[in-house]
Structure formats: C-alpha cells, structure tokens
Structure 1
Amino acid sequence: MAAPQVLVVDDEPDILDLLGISLRRMGSNCRTAASLREARDRLQEQAYDLCLTDMRLPDGNGIELVRYAQKRFPDMPTAVITAYGSMDAAVEAMKAGAFDFIAKPLEIEELRNVVGQALKMGPENAIDRRSRDVLLGDSGAMRKIRGMIVKLARSQAPVYIQGPSGTGKELVARLIHEKGPRRDGPFVPVNCGAIPSELMESEFFGHKKGSFTGAHADRKGLFQTAAGGTLFLDEVAELPLPMQVKLLRAIQEKRIRPVGASQEVPVDVRILSATHQDLTRRVAQGEFREDLYYRLNVIPLNIPPLRERPEDIPPLIDHLLGKMVGDDPELRPRLTLDAIRALQRHPFDGNVRELENILERALTLADEGVIDVPDLHLPDRGDTAAAGQANGGLAEPEPEEGFELEDYLADLERTAIQRALAKTNGNKTAAAGLLGISFRSLRYKLKKLEME
C-alpha cells in the first residue's frame, strides 16, 4: 500500500521541518508550500490524501485554501493550524469545510490524532454502511438530512442537532459517527440532564483515587471513555453553568483535568450535541453560556417534527412493525388505508416515539392481523372531556416545556393495570381479561413498566 501524500502549507521553516519529520515518522510522504499561491500549484501537480495549512500565509489565509480545496478537491480533508487561543478562527475554518484544527504550540500526539482520523477518510478506506442507515422517510426534509449526515461525517466539526423529543436525534448522531473516520472508535451517548450536578465533573473528566469521599480507585470519565470516537451530549441545555465553563475549556483546548489530578491530559473526541429546548432563548435568558453555544453550534442540523412530514409515516410503520414482530409475514399485521390516513392526520406531539407506542398498543388489541382506526385508540381531539372520563377521570395533559408524552401514556397504562389487578385481587389472567388483552401482553407490559 502506497504511503499517504500530505501537503503542509506554512511560511515558518521551523514548523515545516517539525511537521515534515513528524509526518515521515508516521509513514507519510510530505511536500511543503510557503504561500497560498504555492499551495494551489502543489494541489494541481498531484493528488494528496491530506492538507495541513497555517491560518496566516503571506498572500492570504488558510480559510481561503480550505474553500479552494472544498471546491476543487472535495475528497481531500484539510486541517488548519491556528495560533493559541484563536478558537474563533478555528470555528470559522470548520464552517468553511475544514476537517479539524490543530492549535499552536504543536503537540505531536494531537497531530497524530488529527492525521490518523483524516487519513481514514480516503476512498480506499471508505465503507458502505447504507445497510445500517435506518433514518427512514421519503420527505424532502429527510432526504436533505441524510445528505447532510454524509457531509458532516467527513468533518470533525461540532454538530448541534435540534428537534422535538422523539424525532431521532441520537440516531442522527450515531449515523454521523458510523459514516465517518471515527466509526471504529466508541460512540458514547450521555443524557446531561440525568447526571447529578455534584457528580458532573467526575463523570465527564474522571477522578483520581482519594480525590473525594468514595473515590476508591482511579476512574476514567466520559471524555476518556470516548477516546478516538464520538461523545454525544444529549439534552445539553440541562448542563449547569459551572459545568458549562469546564466543558468549554475541554472543547477549546482538547485537554481535561481529572478531579484530583495535578496535570491535564489530552483527549481525542468529536463532540456532537442535541436538545429539544431552544438554546438561543436559553442564552438570551442567561441560562446557557453564549461562548459555549457557538462552540457547539458550529454546524446546526434541525430535525423537523413528524407532523410536518406525514409522507414519512408509511415507511416508519413498516420499519417499526418489523422491529416488533420480525419479518415473518404471518405475524406482521396489515394497517387499513383508513388507519394509515388517521395516523397521517394525527399531530404526534411525541413524534416517532409516540408512533411506536401507538403501534405497540394496536398490535396487542387488533384482531385477525388487521389494524384499523379503532385499534389505534387515537385521542378524540374534539371531545377532551369525554376522553378524560374514559381515562378514569385522569386530568387531560397540558403540554408545556418539559412535557413527555411517552411518560404520560405510560402512566395511563400503569394506572389501568393497577386498577385491573386491584379488582381481581392480583389475578393476572383475570386482569388481562378486564383490560381486553392477552395474558402474554399483560406480562410484557408489566415488565416494560417495571411493575413486576
């Protein structure tokens, strides 16, 4: 296999020498250029697997070269070398299409990480992962998102994924990871709202033995666990302000300090983040740091709610039913045309998660392998009072910030099961009869709702 070809663009002879020696030790062939014009000439002379360019050049800047390379050589990753503390320039370069950035003073380990990740993007290393792409939908919005995922996978830029709960933000993040050069590394998702504030620093950065009560051994944090891969920060809006400061530094410097440690350690992770909240409003209210917002939101990706793309519902139905009953046509039920149209008219405040819950319930209640409108048990939006009585007098939900439809529906099922078990003195077979479901379905729901 031929050695990778790397072009280094910088007007400082010492930097060129350092990079040349380091790259050759990594098994790469290195050519150099000292100006923007010379770099363009080198790119015309032969193909390169990677271009490293300084931001400041005698006749222009590195961002101009990034844009030129993106237009003429889109398959070649370009990384920029920035002066210490020039994160704004690094962010601008990544928005222009740069693969990643390296801060001065140069550190060999960081250079090795960036070069290693970039060289995995070559055509000879590309892997067709279309069989794993389960981001379904025929709408223009979903086709656009699938195209964006392919582009975003070729970068190391932070991506901010925004969309309502249940739209598949984690799936999008996972696909960006799987289609990129970090695919062989770990994908580490973390729900920022689920970590107690007093444990956050230890969870993210790790700790040393004896650093606090209960620290009986050294422990790696999420950043080190995700080394060489991707760290997905879900519900990032839930981070408390003190932790936001520490996260900002970790992203900017690519270094962390475990709790109780005397020195920082380098980290090699890509950051993807998501939330269902409006981060712009949170910034305006002083609840989220503006500087961290702009570091996370280098490239925004918006996932529209399911109600805005009803044409995506049929393929989603087919996929979800396949997950529930498998591919056996004897087991898979058929939805009537009226049932599909009813689902396409439904507002789906819980998005794909709500659709999955509806189908799961219908699968239990439907007869003879056919799901019709009554089996869906969609709420009658024209008669909320009657619906409240049908729910045993439970109050109708008032969706507002923080409302989770999936949790609300689970509470309804839990209440109905508890009442049925109370009426039958705990006899599950009789309770299943009262609920109009099979004993097996009741056992499944008891396990799912953690009632056993």
Structure 2
Amino acid sequence: MPDRQPIALVVDDEPDICNLISMTLQRMNVRADIAMSVAEARRRLAEKQYHFCLTDMRLPDGDGLQIVETIQDLPADRALPVAVITAHGNMDSAITALKLGAFDFVSKPVNLERLRSLVQLALRLTEGRFLESQEFPALFQGQSEAIQTLRAQIEKIARSDAPVHITGEPGSGKELAARCIHEQGPRSNRAFITLHCESIAAEQLERHLFGDEYDRGQLHAANGGTLYLDEVNALPQELQTKLLNTLQEESFSNSATGEKIKLDIRIITGSRKRLADEARRGAFRSDLYYRLNVIELAIPPLRQRQEDIPLLTRNLLRRISAESRGATPKASQDAIQALQAYPFPGNLRELENILERAVTLGESSTLYASDLIIPAASPIPGDQIGDSVLPGNAKPISDVVLQLPAYGHQTGYPGQFATSEFETLDDFLQSIEREAIESALNETGWNRTAAAEKLGISFRSLRYRLKKLGLESE
C-alpha cells in the first residue's frame, strides 16, 4: 500500500507566490493547501493534520509569527514543522521566528533550490523518529532536574534547523550536546563535523575551515549536515568576517577550483566563555554573534547533577572496562559519597579521568574511596571564579595544590596547578602521569616490564597508559 501523500499548508496572500510554491511542491509529490490569512490558516490547522507549514511574514490580518505561535501551542501528537518566508535581507524577523520555534526560513524572491531543500528537511522532521523521545547517550542520563531540563531542550532544538550556541564549563559535554542535536534532527544521516578552533593555530584555522588546493576544508565536508565549531570565540577577526559573509551569501568557494558551492548546513557553536561578553568588548563580531546565537543552550555543570553521579559512574565504569575480559568494576558506597562531595571543576571529563585512573591502578573489582585520586581542594573553573561562590573549603584555582599518591618507590608528583600552563585539570594530571612513565622508561632503557614493576603497576596497566598518552610508538 503506498504511503499517504504529504500535505503542506502554505500561508500567503500573494497568488503568484502561492502558485510558485504549489507547483514546486507538486513536483516533489507534496500537496498544498492555501490559506491567505492568519484566521484561515488557524481554521485549516484545526480541521486537518498537515506534514508541515510554510507561512509568509506579512498577512492581511496579522503576521507569520502568529502562525508559528499557534503551531507551537498544538498538542504533541499534532506537532508539525513550520518555516517562514521573509523579505529579502530581513534577518531580524527570521531570527525572531526561529526563536519562537520555526525550524527554518526562506527569503523573497524565493529561490527554488533553497525551497526544495527546506521541504525535504521538513518532511524528514515529520518522520515518527524525530517526533518521539530519543535515546540519549549515557553521560546525559539521570534524574536530576538539570539534566531532565537539558534533554527536553535538546529534543525541542533538534526539531529546528536554526543555529545554536552552546555554553558550558570545560568538560561539561558541549560537543556531546551538539552531536545529540544533530542525531535527533533531520540531518542525522549526513556528516557531523567538529572543528576545535582553540586547539588550532590562528594562521591555520582558515585552511581547516575553508580548505586550500590540497584539502577541501571542514565547511565543505559538513555541507548537507552539521558543523560544530568548538570554542568559536577563538576565531580571529578576519576569519569571523569571512564566516559571516559565507553565512549571509549561503555559499562558499571550492578551494581548488574557485567554483561557488551552495551552502546547506546547520551551524552549532560552543564556548566556555560568554560570547555576549566577548562581543560587548569587541573581541567577537556582534553581527556574527547574533547570527550564531539564535538559540542558546546552557549545559549544566556536574556539581548541579550530584544525584546522577551513581548512574554516571556505573555507565562510565562499564565503558572503561569494555575491552577487558574481567567483570565490570563496581563503585562502593564510600566511593560514590566521595565523588558526590567533590564539585568537579573538570565536569564529566574529570569524572571519567578519575575513574579511568582508579580502574587502571586498582587490583580489586570494587573501587573504594581510597582508590580515587581526587584533588584535596575544590576549585570552580577559572572563567567562573569572578562571579561564583567557591564551595566548602575551596581555594582559587591558581592556589590549588594536588596531593597525589606515590608511584612505586618514588615520592610522588605533587605540584601547582596553574591556568597559565594547563587549560584543564585533566591536562595537568596527564602531564604528571606522562612525566612519571617517561622517567621510569628512561631509567629502565625502555624495558616495559621493568618500568611497570618500578612504577608499581601491572604490565597491562602500563600498556593502557602508554596508549592513552600516545607513547606506545615512541
């Protein structure tokens, strides 16, 4: 039995526009019902279930924003995507519509290629799997109010194609949230590409983003899918300008041939710094900020999810031990209590790091509080210190001294965490671990068995650490 023909509601009072859209939809095997006013559109929406709606902004008895709001108020089982038609260059109304819940927009004069792309996205959004609750990754599981709110926001955002800016502390899961939005949205069968702007030298960023004669670049690789720009505030000013022009023109040049390529992409950005503050002080272009920050999503820090730590710990221990043949380690009650008492300035990444170390060093299938290497103090990430209350006996992050256990017969590697030298606590701890292992290997002439014995760990643990630190082939 053939599938039912999709039906679209087209709301516009210009007969020429209605005919153009109707003919385009007909060629895509989509039937169009026409409404020429807000009142008529509301009546049709009450009478019939549509697959999607396309509405003009200017109508005789109101505007398209009223249609967007009406559709957002429909019950969940009658939800449908809505896109708006805006006057050429009128980005303010388009952004307002996106913030209200429209999934996309098209400008007049209507570009047919752009219209067809929009319709394809709308039809995929109406597929059942995009309107039902999605399965979230293990790190976003839990019953805390903070994570339940985040999941609900991601589900709603995924049904849109609007640009999203994700804020959050280091290690809180910004990239994971971006991937969730992509995988639950209509572009899930296309590429998800990440560009870590802060980890690439400024002079190399343009080549990575736009490509050159040898490499097509991440913008090209993500076309049709989603591009996630992590720490987007690290983009140099001239590259911010080039990105803004590309988004405005909805096209970019082939790096090898110079040919213009139509841009069909969802942009998601992330930063731990407040992008609004960066724009206010002139470090980030305000016009690009408004273009990227259509929807803002804040990722809660792990210290706001303390009741989720037992579940997160179980899931992480299962993942960490997946490649080993033994049973999955378990965390004792005192280990869970120790983890819940710590505010995790490094968030999810730091929790995973602490558990990895405990599993690697531990000889028992149960982890106790004494097996966990947890910093004695409780710093909040540097960017938040100025306007946050430090919990308990916490000190400013530059004053934190980590007390680490001895390795074998050595005296250990206590040291000073300095934000000028290390971006995160993970980086600091890994530098200590790397130094200890390299020292033991050098002293034993890179005899791994002897080095493992000197460090007081198993040969298997040493191999795991070498692989993790990138020392295996050295």
The answer to whether the superposition gives a TM-score over 0.5 is yes
User: Which residue pairs with 1:428 in the alignment?
Assistant: 448
Matched, 1:111 2:115: yes
The one-letter code matched in structure 2 to 1:188 is I
* Correspondent of 1:376 among 372, 375, 386: 372
Secondary structure, counterpart of 1:72 in structure 2 = coil
Give the Cα separation in 2 of the matches to 1:426 and 1:402.
Answer: 28
Name the SS for the 1:120 alignment partner: helix
| Cα distance between partner residues in 2 of 1:235 and 1:247 | 15
Amino acid at match of 1:157: A
Q: Which residue of 1 aligns with 2:158?
A: 153
Aligned length: 443
- 1:42 equivalent to 2:47? Answer no
Residue 387 of structure 2 aligns with which residue?
none
Report how far residue 293 of structure 1 moved: 1.2
CA distance 1:114–1:384, change in 2 (3 Å): closer
2:244 aligned partner: 248
**Residue of structure 2 equivalent to 1:298:** 294
**Are 1:387 and 2:403 matched, yes or no?**
yes
Query: Residue 180 of structure 1 is aligned with which of 178, 182, 185?
Result: 185
Residue 192 of structure 1 pairs with residue 197 of structure 2: yes
C-alpha spacing 1:196/1:366, structure 2 compared with 1 (3 Å): closer
AA paired with 1:168? G
Distance 1:418 1:387 in 2: 20
Deviations 1:42-66 (A, max 9, x none): 2233221111111111221111111
Equivalent residues of 2:355, 2:372 under 8 A apart: yes
Deviations 1:272-328 (A, max 9, x none): 111112212211221111111122111111112112221121111111111111399
Match of 1:171 among 173, 176, 192: 176
Q: Which residue of 2 aligns with 1:356?
A: 352
Structure 1 384/20 Cα, relative in aligned 2: closer, same or farther at 3 Å?
closer
Answer yes or no: is the 8 Å Cα contact 1:388–1:396 preserved in 2: no
Q: State the Cα distance separating 1:434 from its structure 2 match.
A: 2.2
2:422, 2:428 within 8 Å by CA — same for their partners in 1?
no
TM-score of the superposed pair, with normalisation by structure 1:
0.91
Indicate conservation of the 8 Å contact 1:129/1:179, yes or no. Answer: no
Q: 1:136 aligned to 2:153?
A: no
Q: Is the 8 A contact 1:8 1:30 kept in 2?
A: yes
Map of 1:417 onto structure 2: 437
Output one character per residue of 1:108-161: Cα deviation in whole Å (capped at 9) or x when no partner.
Answer: 111111100111122545486744533222211001101111111111111111
Q: 1:387 & 1:327 partners in 2: Cα distance? A: 30
Gaps of 5+ in 1: 208-214
- Matched residues in 2 for 1:31 and 1:342: separation? 61
Residue 325, structure 1, aligned to residue 321, structure 2: yes
| Whole-angstrom distance in 1 between the partners of 2:16 and 2:422 | 55
Partners of 2:258 and 2:57 in 1: how far apart? 33
Kindly state the Cα deviation for residue 251 of structure 1 after the two structures are TM-superposed. Answer: 2.6
Change (3 A) 1:312 1:201: same
- Pair 1:4-2:20 in alignment: no
Which runs of no fewer than 5 residues in structure 2 stay unpaired? 378-392, 394-398
Aligned 8 A contact 1:34 1:57 in 2:
yes
Q: d(CA) in 2 for partners of 1:151 and 1:70?
A: 11
The AA in structure 2 aligned to 1:174 is: R
Q: 1:350 to 1:65 in 2, by over 3 A?
A: same
* 2:32 equivalent among 30, 33, 36: 30
In structure 2, relative to structure 1, the CA distance for the partners of 1:333 and 1:264 (3 Å cut) is same
Residue 239 of structure 2: SS of its match in structure 1?
helix
Shift of the 32–370 alpha-carbon distance from structure 1 to 2, 3 Å rule, reads: same
- The Cα of 1:228 is off from its aligned counterpart by 2.4
Given residue 312 of structure 2, which amino acid in structure 1 is its aligned partner?
A: L
Partner deviation per Cα, 1:61-104 (whole Å, 9 max, x = no partner)? 11111111111365111100111111111100000111100112
Match of 2:417 in 1: 397
Please, which moves more after superposition, 414-423 or 144-153?
Answer: 414-423
The answer to which of 304-313 and 170-179 deviates more is 304-313
The answer to whether residue 313 in structure 2 is matched with residue 309 in structure 1 is no
Q: What is the SS of the residue equivalent to 1:30?
A: strand
What is the root-mean-square deviation of aligned Cα atoms in Å? 2.5
The match for 1:51 among 13, 29, 53 is 53
- Deviations, residues 328-353 of structure 1 (Å, cap 9, x unaligned): 99522222211111111112111111
Establish whether residue 205 from structure 1 lines up as the match of residue 210 from structure 2.
yes
Match in the other structure for 1:18: 20
Secondary structure of the residue that 2:241 maps to in structure 1?
helix
User: What is the letter of the counterpart of residue 265 of structure 1?
Assistant: I
Closer/same/farther in 2, CA of residues 260 and 197 from structure 1, 3 Å limit? farther
